[in-house]
Chains A and B, each alone.
Chain A
Amino acid sequence: MEEKIRITIDGREVTANPEQTILEAARENGIFIPTLCQYADTTNVGACRVCVVEVEKARTLVASCCMPVSAGMVVRTDTKAVRDAQRMIVELLWASGDHNCLVCEKNGNCELQDLVYWLGIEKPRFPIESPGYEIEKTNSMIVRDLNKCVLCGRCVRACNEIQVNEVLDFSLRGSRAKVGPAFDSDYIASECYFCGECVDACPVGAITFAQARFGGRPWELEKVRTTCTYCGVGCQLDLNINKGKIVKVTGNRDYGPPNQGSLCIKGRFAMDFVQHPDRLQRPLIRKNGELTEATWEEAYDLIARNLSAIKEEHGPDSIAGFASARCTNEENYLFQKFMRAVIGTNNVDHCARL
């Protein structure tokens, strides 16, 4: 373990680890510094400059998200110069696009809105000018409205550093700079895999879930943790539910392994089968050649009786079990246990081996 060092933040002496940034040290000690472009597990790029602080003897303000602490450092997070800069930066961002919360899917869960509120800005000093990009609705999964983009680059890093899909990057320069796939194409025409990592990363309403549009406001959604049913990895996810209906699926980094909040296209966008009207919800038993609805008890009973009879008459090896990749690891484990210990056969396999 490295030696701890001492630094002073807002007059409080705190200890920090020399590998830490000012932001990390402040957070660890319960001192709030606003951020926007900073996104855990990706490079600290220092793009938005919302996290600036004053550091004694530094020539300029310092972006706390990418400045390492050093022994004896004296930091102030709440001076007039800091607040003036933060206010100006947020006003500039606000005025740079179509940040109209009335119709924004992120209303109530928007980091720009939070910043405006926290800084108490009534209105930007600059005329609001939206770039006028066409809203990208070319696919059924992700909607992109670059008029709301604050160019924090979180989607770019999510795409390149977390999922390593390398689809998104910046193009053009100055105030015309924008984010997107190569050659300014839309998502569907690009190499995009539709993992949706960029949607989760976007702090504002620039990249949103197409399926969730008008499906419920952030405060109406109930999040239910579950395990993805698409493969055995067991990704943890949050079903966002409004009035008993799944509106969207979001990753949750707090759940940690195995997926650390990341998802794939299936887990992210293909949960709508859950509420499909054709979905089988009760067991069916063929009676007189007709499939008829039955209770679970009847169904289990029938299975147990038939399997026991076959086993009795032909021996356990006359039975084979075939499990599904769409069950969890635990379910598959139970299934093989059932085949081996209850039925007494090693005839058990899984569709993932086909």
Chain B
Amino acid sequence: MEEPMIGSIPTMQEIPFFAHQKLRVLRNRGIIDPGKIEEYIARDGYLGLAKALTEMTPAEIIKEVTASGLRGRGGAGFPTGLKWQFCSQSKGDVKYVLCNADEGDPGAFMDRSVLEADPHAVLEGMVIAARAIGAHYGYIYCRAEYPLAIHQLNIAIAQARECGLLGKDILGTGFDFDLEIYQGAGAFVCGEETALMTSIEGKRGMPRPRPPFPAVAGLWGKPSVLNNVETFASVAQIVLKGAAWYASVGTEKSKGTKVFALTGDVNNVGLVEVPMGTTLRTIVYEIGGGIPGGKKFKAAQLGGPSGGCIPAEHLDASVDYEKVAELGAIMGSGGLIVMNEDKCIVDIARFFIDFCQDESCGKCTPCREGTKRMLQILTGITEGKGREGDIELLQEMAVIIKNSSLCGLGQTAPNPILSTIRYFRDEYEAHIREGRCPAGVCTALKRYTVDAEKCTGCGVCAKVCPTKAAKGEKKQPHEIDQATCIKCGVCMEKCKFEAIFVN
């Protein structure tokens, strides 16, 4: 690599990590001091709110948001404008605007980042939503594990109130809206909308059946709108700059940008914001800078624990709601975990179903018991106890669990299993039929073997082996007894002739 010369330091736009990004939700991050409302205002903050409150009717706000094509960034991608419209049509003088800042997906931190770096953007979006549906009170359901986000939000709320941007008679328009933070105790399922509302009501966070939908009977049975942090953070700009501006990037059905938490086996990890429809390849190789150590890309897990694995053959797929779903993953809240060839796909599926089983609320049978049994079967496979028929049973269970669970958790929990079987069935089969983990990850399936050509019969392996599985005559090639080998690997480590390998 050429040393960059003094005076030719590249601009941000010349660095691929930045060049392919388009910052809308993250536009203020690292640029303003989130503790100073003036800095937010200096970057056109609260102009959208002012426009919404002084120049637009609620119906016009909803029309604009609908026209922008904005879809919920919390998971399901439901059209935000439509959601607001449903709620605005619900009768009742008490309605709520709720912000989902539970961010339960492991490894995801886009919502935290927005709350910490640009809290006013979320508040502004919430007030606009409140105006659109006729609500006067709101909650931000933020997980308690985000103390800095809560701290910044508290400062922002206090400043907004002081400036007349929150509370009674906002901007002198006669419109009232106030809100408070409700701290969640870190249950993944509390990110599910009905569980979140049940939790705010002070009960155990468990989902309830829909209908009634929150737009009709949400928090305390009142019509409510729940949106994700990133969704709210997009609203003010839509109102200010117009639907057409927002829809100018993205695909036909997925407009705007999406923030991804890029992580795993990739050189540049972190939050990236790209136009909808950017290819996976661009995200992984251009922005992410490729896979470290010259390893091969195996798959990307998209959509958090209940998402799916997208394999190398689909690297050129456009990342948008439709395409991602077609490939067996979900957009989710934007978790994107890159995996290289050293990862065992069965182990990955096992990891995610383990998470879902742990986080299942325990209410409905398919999710509670079904995920447990799928975990058991997968664990068996990784331990060499897989049986013929396991794959088919997993598939049958996956379909039924998706089809019959009460909430989105159970309805999506089988995704990692289905997508990994879909793309990597041969790896499952290698585990089950050949007792072999192609990636060499599953300990129980490792076979330490002596290469007779290279072995000099020095006897070091036999000496260090704690179970006396490695043995042989002096000066003769040694052998490892698989029945007593505990796969500790010490023989391989100590062999000076690299005569021991794993397969």
Contacts and interface: CB of A to CB of B under 8 A. Distances in A.
A177 B362 contact: yes
Contacts of B211: 67-68
B263 interface: no
Nearest to A86: B404
Contacts of A63: 209, 406
A169 B363 contact: no
B372 interface: yes
B369 interface: yes
Q: Which of B211, B363, B411 has the most CB of A within 10 A?
A: B363
Interface string B350-367: 000000011111111110
B361 A177 contact: yes
B187 interface: yes
Contacts of A153: 363
Interface stretch (A89-97, A232-240, A268-276, A317-325): A89-97
Interface stretch (A44-52, A138-146, A249-257, A297-305): A44-52
Interface stretch (B268-276, B277-285, B392-400, B452-460): B392-400
B366 A92 contact: yes
Contact of A96 (B359, B361, B369): B369
Contact of A175 (B360, B397, B405): B360
B484 interface: no
Contacts of B405: 49, 60
B43 to A, nearest CB: 41
A47 B406 contact: yes
A11 to B, nearest CB: 22
B400 A175 contact: no
Contacts of B373: 92, 95, 126
Contacts of B400: 84-85, 88-89
B204 interface: yes
Contacts of B255: none
B198 to A, nearest CB: 11
Interface in A131-179: 150-151, 153, 169-170, 172-177
Contact of B364 (A48, A60, A125): A48
B370 interface: yes
B402 interface: yes
Q: Which of A44, A95, A125, A174 has the most CB of B within 10 A?
A: A174
Nearest to A46: B209
A199 interface: no
Given A49-B404, A88-B396, A174 B371 contact: yes
B83 interface: no
Contacts of B402: 60
Contact of B209 (A44, A169, A172, A176): A44
A81 interface: yes
A175 B372 contact: yes
B227 to A, nearest CB: 21
A254 B116 CA distance: 59
A88 B406 contact: no
Q: Which of B360, B364, B370, B404 has the most CB of A within 10 A?
A: B404
A16 interface: no
A169 B208 CA distance: 15
A61 interface: yes
Interface string B208-226: 1101000000000000000
A28 B54 CA distance: 54
B404 A60 contact: yes
B364 A173 contact: no
Contacts of B376: 126-127
A61 to B, nearest CB: 5
Contact of B359 (A47, A95, A174): A174
Contacts of B189: 173
A41 B297 CA distance: 56
Interface string B383-415: 000000000010011001011111000010000
Contacts of B397: 88
Interface residues of B, number: 34
A66 interface: yes
Contacts of A89: 365-366, 400, 404
B371 A49 contact: no
Contacts of A150: 365
A95 B406 CA distance: 20
Contacts of B358: 173-174
Given A96-B369, A175-B369, A47 B363 contact: yes
A68 B365 CA distance: 21
B396 to A, nearest CB: 7
B368 interface: yes
Contacts of A172: 362
B206 interface: yes
A174 B360 contact: yes
Nearest to B375: A175
A60 B397 CA distance: 14
B363 A85 contact: no
Contact of A151 (B357, B362, B403): B362
B365 A93 contact: yes
Contacts of B406: 46-47, 49, 63
Given A47-B406, A49-B404, A177 B368 contact: yes
Nearest to A177: B362
Contacts of A50: 365
B369 A66 contact: no
A126 B363 CA distance: 20
A170 B362 contact: yes
A204 to B, nearest CB: 13
B399 to A, nearest CB: 8
B404 A151 contact: no
Contacts of B368: 151, 174-175, 177
B403 A60 contact: yes
Contacts of B357: 174-175
A37 to B, nearest CB: 9
A60 B365 contact: no
A84 B364 CA distance: 17
A52 B209 CA distance: 13
Contacts of A52: 404
Given A63-B209, A85-B404, A126-B373, A45 B363 contact: yes
B387 to A, nearest CB: 11
B365 A49 contact: yes
B403 A85 contact: yes
A151 to B, nearest CB: 6
A124 B357 CA distance: 20
A250 to B, nearest CB: 27
B397 to A, nearest CB: 7
A253 B314 CA distance: 60
Contacts of B411: 60
B363 A174 contact: no
B197 to A, nearest CB: 15
25 contacts: A45-B208, A46-B364, A48-B365, A60-B403, A60-B411, A63-B406, A67-B209, A84-B396, A85-B403, A89-B365, A89-B400, A95-B369, A96-B372, A125-B393, A151-B362, A151-B363, A151-B365, A170-B362, A173-B187, A173-B358, A173-B359, A173-B361, A174-B359, A175-B362, A175-B369
Complex A-B, nearest 3 residue pairs according to Cβ-Cβ distance, in ascending order: A177-B362, A92-B369, A46-B209
Interface of B: 187, 189, 204, 206, 208-209, 211, 357-366, 368-373, 376, 393, 396-397, 400, 402-406, 411
Given A46-B208, A88-B366, A173-B362, 4 more contacts: A49-B365, A49-B406, A151-B365, A153-B363
